[in-house]
Amino acid sequence: MARAPAATGDSSSCGHDGFHTMMTRYERDSGLLVYCRTCDSCGALVGELGREPYRPSFDPRGCQGFTDLAREGRA
Ligand SMILES: [Zn+2]
C-alpha cells in the first residue's frame, strides 16, 4: 500500500500549498467512513471530501455456496 511522504509535523508555518494526499479514516462509534485530504508537507488535515455510512459485517459462511459447488465438481 502506498504511503504519503513523511510529514514534518509543523503545520503552523505551512501554507498547505503543496501536494495533498487523499485518505480515509473510519469513525467506529458513528459507523462512518470519512474521506479527507492531508497536507504532504506537514500532515495537517486540510479538507473533508465526504462521509459514508459503513458497518463492517462478517459472514463466516458467506462463501459456503461456492465451496459446496467446488466440492461437487460443478464450479
Ligand atoms: Zn501543510
- Rounded distance from Cα 49 to ligand 1 centre (Å): 17
- Rounded distance from Cα 40 to ligand 1 centre (Å): 7
pLDDT, position 17: 95
Cα–Cα distances (Å) from 30 to 43, 54, 58, 62, 65, in that order, read 24, 9, 18, 26, 33
What is the count of structural domains for the chain?
Answer: 1
- Rounded distance from Cα 20 to ligand 1 centre (Å): 8
How many Å apart are CA 31 and CA 54, to the nearest integer?
5
Residue 12 inside a domain? The answer is no
pLDDT score of 29 more than 70: yes
Residue 42 inside a domain? The answer is yes
pLDDT, position 6: 60
Question: Quick check: 74 and 65 in contact, CB under 8 A?
Answer: no
pLDDT, position 1: 47
pLDDT, position 53: 97
Residue 45 inside a domain? The answer is yes
Domain that holds residue 40: 20-57
Q: What is the pLDDT of residues 31-61, one digit of tens each?
A: 999 999 999 999 999 999 999 999 988 888 8
51 Cβ contact partners less than 8 Å away, ≥ 6 residues apart: 32, 33, 34, 35
Residue 50 inside a domain? The answer is yes
Residue 43 inside a domain? The answer is yes
- Rounded distance from Cα 41 to ligand 1 centre (Å): 5
Residue 34 inside a domain? The answer is yes
What is the grid cell recorded at 68?
Answer: 459446496
